[in-house]
A and B are shown apart, each in its own frame.
Chain A
C-alpha cells in the first residue's frame, strides 16, 4: 500500500483490573482512507478509539503519529495532534450555549485581557456550524433547545473546526436518522479526499461496507483481520466477528404473514401534538412493525399506547385478561393501566428510560412486577430471587450474578434485561422501540429468534424501528409513517424491499 501512515499502534494493551479489553493490537491507520472498525460489544473497538483519542491511558505498548511517539494524557493532547473523536453518547452540555459547547475547554482563544470576546466566539461558532450544513441558528441559545440529532451535529462541528488529520467516529450513526447518517458519510468522504485519515466504528455492517475503504475486525480484544474493500464479503466479515458461522439470513424464515383472531390493542383516531388521526389494531400472535423517519412521530405512537403521552383526541383500547381468561377492553389512561393490562414497553433510549443503570439486574427485573410478587404487601426476598433467576436463565443473560449492576453489562445483555422485565411480568403485549439499537450481530440473532418464539407463544409485538431490513425481516405487517400519519400499510411479503418502504417515508 502506498498511502502514508498517519497513526500506528504497536502491541498496545489495555487492562481493566483483571480484564484484558485490548490485547496486543498493532494496526496502521492511513491517510486518504476511511478505516472501519467492527466487532461485537466488548470486543475492544471502543477501547482502542478511547486510547487513541486520549480518553483512556494505555497499559502497554506504543503509539506513533507520523513516526513520532504519541502518548496523549487527555483529549486536549490528542486535539493538539489533530486527532478528534465523536462519541456514541451525547457529548454536549445542555444549559451551555451552542457556541460555548463548540469551544468548550478552548475558550481561551477568544480571550482579550482575560475577558472572552463573545462576538468573535459566535462568529467562529457559525463558521464551524457551516462545516456541517447546520443552517441558520442562534448560537447563543442553550444546546438543550436542540434535538438529539442537532446536538450530535454540534459535536461534529466542534471536531471539524480544529481541522483534524484523524477523525474518529464512534457509533455515532446509530443515533441518527437517515439524513444525519448521509451527512456524516459525506463528511467522512470529504475528509478522505483531502488526504485525511478517518476511523469509523460501528455495529452496522452494511453501513461500514458502504462507506469504508478497509475494515478491521476485532473479537475479544484481539485484532482478527483487516480486509480491503475489494475483498468485502458480508458473511465472511460476520464470521470473523463472532468466530463462528452465522446464517446469511437471521430473520424469521417463514415468508407469509400470520396472526391470531383476537385484537389486543385498538388505537382509535389518536391525535397528539405530533400525531394525526392514528388508527390501527395489533393482534395476538402478530409482529407489527412501524417504520418511518425519526421525526415521523413513530416513537410517540409507542408512548401513547403505553399511556405515557395522553392523546388530545381518540383513545387506546387494550384487551386485558379478566381473571377467568376472558379478554375485556380497557381504555389506557396512564402507565399503570397499561401495565395492569399486561403491556410492556422498552424505550428507544433504553439506558435512560427503561433501565436503572445503578441498580442490580435483580432490582431492575422485579421493579415492574413488585405488585405481583407481594403477599399482603410484603415482598419476600426469596420470591424476588426466584423471579430474577428464572428470567436470567430463560433469556440467557450473561452476568456475574443477579446482583451485578446493570450499568456494567454489555448492550445486548442490557436489552435482555429490559425484555425480561416485561416478559417476567406476564406482559402479553410488548412495545419495543428500536429493539436492536446498539446491539451487535450475534445478539441481534438471538433477539430475533426470541421475538419469533414470543410471537408463536401468542404475544402481540409492536416493533418501532428505523432499520428497514429488520422491519421487513420480522414483521407480519408494516405501517409506514410520515409527518405524524400512517401513510401506507404493507403485508409480509418476500418481494418487499427497502426502497418500496422509503417511497412512503419521504
Chain B
C-alpha cells in the first residue's frame, strides 16, 4: 500500500486536486457549481483549453515548451473570420484556421531544429509576430473584425452534445496517439535523453516536427471553438491563454521537462481542474482583482507537492 502510494504519488495528487476543487466549490456554492447552466459554461470553456492542452502534451513530452498559443489562436481566428466573411463555408474556415496555426508551429519547430535554439525562445518570436499581425490589422481596420454571419458557429457553440463529443474525440485521439503509437513513446524518450533516443533509431528532429504538427492542428481547431463563443477578435483575443495551458498541465501532473512520466491524462485532469477553479472562484464571489493572486498561490502549492522528491537520498549508483 505504501509502495503503491509512493509509486503513483503524482497521479494521486493530480486526481486528488481535481476532486478537492470539485468538492470545495460545490459545497461553497451550495451546488450551484453543478447546476445545468453552469455546467454548460464550464464545458464551453473546457473544450478550448482541453483541445490545446492535448496538443501541448506532445510538445512538452519531448522537452519543448510553447508560449505562442494565445497569439497563434488569435491569428488563426482572424484568418478564419476573413475567409468566412469572403463567403467561404464553415469547413473552409476551419481548414484555413488549421493551416495558419500549423504554419506557425512549423516555423517554430524548424527554427528550433535548424538553429538549435531553445523551443521556448523560438515560440517567443512566433508569439510576437503572430500577435503583431493581429494587433496591426485590428488597429488599422475601421470597424471591428467580426464574423458577418455567425449563425452556424453560434449554433456549434450552443450544441452541448457536439461539444461533449469533441472533448471525447480529441481526448481519445490524443490518448491513442500518445500512449499506443510511436509518436508518443518516441517523444517521451527524446524528453528523457535525446542521445539515447537517437541511438535507438528515433529520428529526433522529425519526431519533434510531428509533435508540433499535432499541436498546430489542435490549436487551429481550438481557435474555431473559441470563435464559436464570441465571433469577434481584438488585439487581446486569447491573452493569457498560453500561461493557462501551462498551469493546467502542471495541475494535471505533467512533468515540465517531459520524458517518460508524461501522461495524456494530465491534459484532461488539469484542464478540468483549471476551468472549475476559475469558474468556482468567480461564483463564490471572489473579487476579480484577487482571482489571479489566489490562482497563483494554489499553483505554488501544487508545484511544491509535485516536485518534492519522495526519497531524500539516492543510493550511489
> Real complex partners, A and B?
yes
* Chain A interface residues (CB < 8 Å from chain B): 16-17, 19, 21, 41, 46-47, 50, 55-56, 88, 306, 308, 335-336, 339, 345, 347, 352-360, 363, 366-368, 370-371, 374, 377-381, 408, 410-411, 421
Cα(A252)–Cα(B192), bound, Å: 37
Residue of B192, B195, B196 contacting most chain A CB atoms (<10 Å):
B196
17 pairs of residues in contact across A and B, judged by CB atoms under 8 Å: A16-B315, A46-B316, A47-B316, A50-B316, A336-B203, A352-B193, A353-B195, A354-B196, A355-B193, A366-B185, A367-B185, A367-B186, A367-B189, A367-B202, A371-B201, A378-B180, A379-B180
In the complex, which residues of chain A have a beta carbon less than 8 angstroms from the beta carbon of B201? Answer: 335-336, 339, 368, 371
Please list the 9 inter-chain residue pairs (A to B) with the smallest Cβ-Cβ separation, ordered nearest first: A359-B260, A368-B200, A339-B201, A367-B200, A356-B192, A356-B193, A46-B316, A358-B192, A370-B182
* Chain B interface residues (CB < 8 Å from chain A): 176, 180-182, 185-186, 188-189, 192-193, 195-203, 259-261, 311, 313, 315-317
Q: Tell whether, in the assembled complex, residue A21 and residue B185 are in contact, meaning their CB atoms are under 8 Å apart.
A: no
Q: Tell whether, in the assembled complex, residue B261 and residue A381 are in contact, meaning their CB atoms are under 8 Å apart.
A: no
Looking at the assembled complex, report how far the CB atom of A431 sits from the nearest CB atom of chain B, in whole angstroms. 11
Q: Tell whether, in the assembled complex, residue A421 and residue B200 are in contact, meaning their CB atoms are under 8 Å apart.
A: yes
Cα(A367)–Cα(B104), bound, Å: 30
In the complex, which residues of chain B have a beta carbon less than 8 angstroms from the beta carbon of A47? Answer: 315-316
Q: Tell whether, in the assembled complex, residue B259 and residue A358 are in contact, meaning their CB atoms are under 8 Å apart.
A: yes
Q: Tell whether, in the assembled complex, residue B182 and residue A352 are in contact, meaning their CB atoms are under 8 Å apart.
A: no
Cα(A264)–Cα(B70), bound, Å: 54
Looking at the assembled complex, report how far the CB atom of B46 sits from the nearest CB atom of chain A, in whole angstroms. 28
In the complex, which residues of chain A have a beta carbon less than 8 angstroms from the beta carbon of B315? Answer: 16, 19, 21, 47, 408
In the complex, which residues of chain B have a beta carbon less than 8 angstroms from the beta carbon of A355? Answer: 193, 196
Closest to B317 in A: A46
Closest to B190 in A: A356
Cα(A488)–Cα(B54), bound, Å: 58
Q: Tell whether, in the assembled complex, residue A354 and residue B199 are in contact, meaning their CB atoms are under 8 Å apart.
A: yes
Partner of A335, one of B182, B186, B199, B261: B199
Residue of B180, B181, B315 contacting most chain A CB atoms (<10 Å):
B315
In the complex, which residues of chain B have a beta carbon less than 8 angstroms from the beta carbon of A88? Answer: 317
In the complex, which residues of chain B have a beta carbon less than 8 angstroms from the beta carbon of A363? Answer: 185, 188-189, 260
Q: Known A335-B201, A336-B201; judge A378-B181 contact (CB<8 A).
A: yes
In the complex, which residues of chain A have a beta carbon less than 8 angstroms from the beta carbon of B200? Answer: 339, 367-368, 421
In the complex, which residues of chain B have a beta carbon less than 8 angstroms from the beta carbon of A359? Answer: 188-189, 192, 259-260
In the complex, which residues of chain B have a beta carbon less than 8 angstroms from the beta carbon of A308? Answer: 198-199
Q: Tell whether, in the assembled complex, residue A352 and residue B195 are in contact, meaning their CB atoms are under 8 Å apart.
A: yes
Looking at the assembled complex, report how far the CB atom of B23 sits from the nearest CB atom of chain A, in whole angstroms. 31
Cα(A356)–Cα(B315), bound, Å: 18
Known: A354-B196, A359-B188, A379-B185. 7 other contacts (CB 8 A): A46-B317, A339-B201, A357-B193, A367-B186, A367-B189, A368-B201, A379-B182
In the complex, which residues of chain B have a beta carbon less than 8 angstroms from the beta carbon of A306? Answer: 199
Closest to B193 in A: A356
Looking at the assembled complex, report how far the CB atom of B208 sits from the nearest CB atom of chain A, in whole angstroms. 16
In the complex, which residues of chain A have a beta carbon less than 8 angstroms from the beta carbon of B185? Answer: 363, 366-367, 370, 379
Q: Tell whether, in the assembled complex, residue B313 and residue A56 are in contact, meaning their CB atoms are under 8 Å apart.
A: yes
Closest to A49 in B: B316
Cα(A359)–Cα(B197), bound, Å: 11
Partner of A353, one of B196, B261, B316: B196
In the complex, which residues of chain B have a beta carbon less than 8 angstroms from the beta carbon of A354? Answer: 196, 199
Looking at the assembled complex, report how far the CB atom of B98 sits from the nearest CB atom of chain A, in whole angstroms. 22
Q: Tell whether, in the assembled complex, residue A353 and residue B199 are in contact, meaning their CB atoms are under 8 Å apart.
A: yes
Residue of A17, A345, A411 contacting most chain B CB atoms (<10 Å):
A17
Q: Tell whether, in the assembled complex, residue B260 and residue A360 are in contact, meaning their CB atoms are under 8 Å apart.
A: yes
Q: Tell whether, in the assembled complex, residue B192 and residue A16 are in contact, meaning their CB atoms are under 8 Å apart.
A: no
Cα(A353)–Cα(B189), bound, Å: 12
Looking at the assembled complex, report how far the CB atom of B260 sits from the nearest CB atom of chain A, in whole angstroms. 4
In the complex, which residues of chain A have a beta carbon less than 8 angstroms from the beta carbon of B202? Answer: 367
Q: Tell whether, in the assembled complex, residue B189 and residue A374 are in contact, meaning their CB atoms are under 8 Å apart.
A: no
Closest to A414 in B: B317
Q: Tell whether, in the assembled complex, residue B182 and residue A16 are in contact, meaning their CB atoms are under 8 Å apart.
A: no
Closest to B201 in A: A339
Closest to A308 in B: B199
In the complex, which residues of chain B have a beta carbon less than 8 angstroms from the beta carbon of A19? Answer: 315
In the complex, which residues of chain A have a beta carbon less than 8 angstroms from the beta carbon of B180? Answer: 378-381
Q: Tell whether, in the assembled complex, residue A352 and residue B196 are in contact, meaning their CB atoms are under 8 Å apart.
A: yes
In the complex, which residues of chain B have a beta carbon less than 8 angstroms from the beta carbon of A46? Answer: 316-317
Closest to A352 in B: B195
In the complex, which residues of chain B have a beta carbon less than 8 angstroms from the beta carbon of A50? Answer: 316
Cα(A16)–Cα(B313), bound, Å: 7
Cα(A370)–Cα(B181), bound, Å: 8
Residue of A360, A368, A371, A411 contacting most chain B CB atoms (<10 Å):
A368
In the complex, which residues of chain B have a beta carbon less than 8 angstroms from the beta carbon of A371? Answer: 182, 201
Q: Tell whether, in the assembled complex, residue A379 and residue B181 are in contact, meaning their CB atoms are under 8 Å apart.
A: yes
Cα(A490)–Cα(B305), bound, Å: 60
Closest to B191 in A: A358
Cα(A210)–Cα(B192), bound, Å: 41
Residue of B180, B189, B193, B200 contacting most chain A CB atoms (<10 Å):
B200
Q: Tell whether, in the assembled complex, residue A335 and residue B198 are in contact, meaning their CB atoms are under 8 Å apart.
A: yes
Q: Known A46-B316, A358-B259, A358-B261; judge A367-B197 contact (CB<8 A).
A: yes
Looking at the assembled complex, report how far the CB atom of B209 sits from the nearest CB atom of chain A, in whole angstroms. 16
Cα(A308)–Cα(B198), bound, Å: 9
Looking at the assembled complex, report how far the CB atom of A223 sits from the nearest CB atom of chain B, in whole angstroms. 18
Cα(A358)–Cα(B314), bound, Å: 13
Looking at the assembled complex, report how far the CB atom of B64 sits from the nearest CB atom of chain A, in whole angstroms. 17
In the complex, which residues of chain A have a beta carbon less than 8 angstroms from the beta carbon of B193? Answer: 352, 355-358
In the complex, which residues of chain A have a beta carbon less than 8 angstroms from the beta carbon of B199? Answer: 306, 308, 335, 345, 347, 353-354
